[in-house]
Amino acid sequence: MTENAPAGWYPQPDGSQRYWDGSEWTPHIAPAAVSAPESAPGEANSEAPVANVSPPDGRPLWKKKRLIIPVAAVAAVIGISALGAAAGGGADEVAASSPSPTPSEEPSAEPTESAAPSMLTMPDVIGVNLQEAQDSLQALGSYALDQEDASGDGRVQVIDSNWRVCAQEPAAGAEVPVEATVLLSAVLEEEPCPGDEPPETSQAQEEEEPAEEEPAEEEPADEGPQETAGQENARESAESYLAFSAFSRSGLMDQLDYEGYDAADAEYAVDAVGADWSEQAAKSAESYLDFSAFSKSGLIDQLEYEGFTTKQATYGADAVDANWSEQAVKSAESYLDFSSFSRAGLIDQLEYEGFTTKQATYAVDQVGL
């Protein structure tokens, strides 16, 4: 079977090249010679050249057309591309001549230096009266103060001036922010700090302690020889303490011992000041009632704990002339501020604190239970 020649460029009699698409001549003519198959088709007006070529897939060759871009079409595409490039160049020039948008100024990336916290150098307040230690710290700008019973008994420090600092945290000399919490551990003035050796006392002093139970029997110190330097200093310290706060005789003695005075000088000073210890008990009772509510029996117990005799403590509780029913009301209100109670439960709690049933019932009625 005779088939047409394959598609391609074929030379023409005038030397040009004409494209044969495999079935007929196309109008595409190239001025320059293009490599052509060995068997060229005849002139344009002649019949289509044929070739004995069998298609590999068995289909007629004239149905297998390929897309060929003639030279003229290529030239047209090149021209269009050139015009597009020119237009693009003009657009680029316009774009280049247009001012570039300026990005908004961003905030400086450099971090600003934050204000440094105020610092203070911790003073040494160990051995200092608790109230004075707090005043010293507050004068330095430290108000985050906490305190605890250094003995570990969990006692409430009602009157700070009756306590003495045994330990502090942070330690003395530490540089800390003024906002740092300062913990002061304290004991009562007449008590030794944990770990301290108890002050030495003479056997004679220990034997005299029971006699202190009866202040009425105390006699002013006999005028003897002129005071020694140690006795004078101890007496002046005792007078200073009594001007600042109320003390029992034993409490003042312990305080002077703690200050390092000789036991004999301390005993001399306590007797030399001529204090009325019952009046000291009354002053101490008034101080306690200024800060908290007490039953009469509870106040007497507290005064005895401070070193006053039972007789002195009872005198002090009577001297304040407190309305114990109103004290029960204050105590009931204080309990309800921190916890919930039933009526019976609150009455039981007040009776446990030393109030009578009548006083406790009155208080519960007043608070509305």
Q: How confident is the model over 346-367, as pLDDT tens digits?
A: 999 999 999 999 999 999 999 8
Task: For residue 62, give every residue at least 6 positions away whose Cβ sits within 8 Å of its Cβ, in sequence order, or none.
Answer: 3, 4, 22, 23
Band the pLDDT of 369: cuts 50, 70, 90. Answer: confident
Q: How confident is the model over 76-101, as pLDDT tens digits?
A: 444 444 444 444 444 444 334 444 44
pLDDT at residue 343 in the model: 92
| Beta strand residue intervals within 41-162, DSSP E | 50-51, 119-121, 145-149
What would the two tokens of residue 196 be? 């301290």
* All structural domains of the chain with their residue ranges: 1-80, 119-188, 324-366
Q: How far apart are CA 35 and CA 348, in angstroms?
A: 124
CA distances, 233 to each of 138, 230, 237 (Å) = 30, 5, 6
Decide if domain 324-366 falls under CATH 3.40.1130.
no
pLDDT at residue 349 in the model: 93
Whose tokens are 């007078």? That residue is 239
Q: Which segment of 153-157, 221-225, 253-257 scores lowest on mean pLDDT?
A: 221-225
In the chain, DSSP finds a helix count (H) and a strand count (E) of: 12, 10
**Domain spanning 119-188 has what CATH number?**
3.30.10.20
The gap from C-alpha 45 to its chain's centroid, in whole angstroms, comes to 102
pLDDT at residue 200 in the model: 57
Question: HSE of 56 in the Cβ direction (CA atoms, 13 Å)?
Answer: 0
Whose tokens are 């704990």? That residue is 305
- CATH topology identical between 119-188 and 324-366: no
How many of the other CB atoms lie within 10 Å of CB of 213? 11
Q: What is the share, in percent, of the chain residues with pLDDT greater than 70? A: 68
What would the two tokens of residue 290 be? 């200024």
How many of the other CB atoms lie within 10 Å of CB of 39? 12
| Beta strand residue intervals within the chain, DSSP E | 3-4, 8-11, 17-20, 25-30, 50-51, 119-121, 145-149, 163-169, 175-177, 182-188
According to DSSP, the residues that pair with 11 across neighbouring strands are 17
Q: Report whether pLDDT(9) > 70.
A: yes
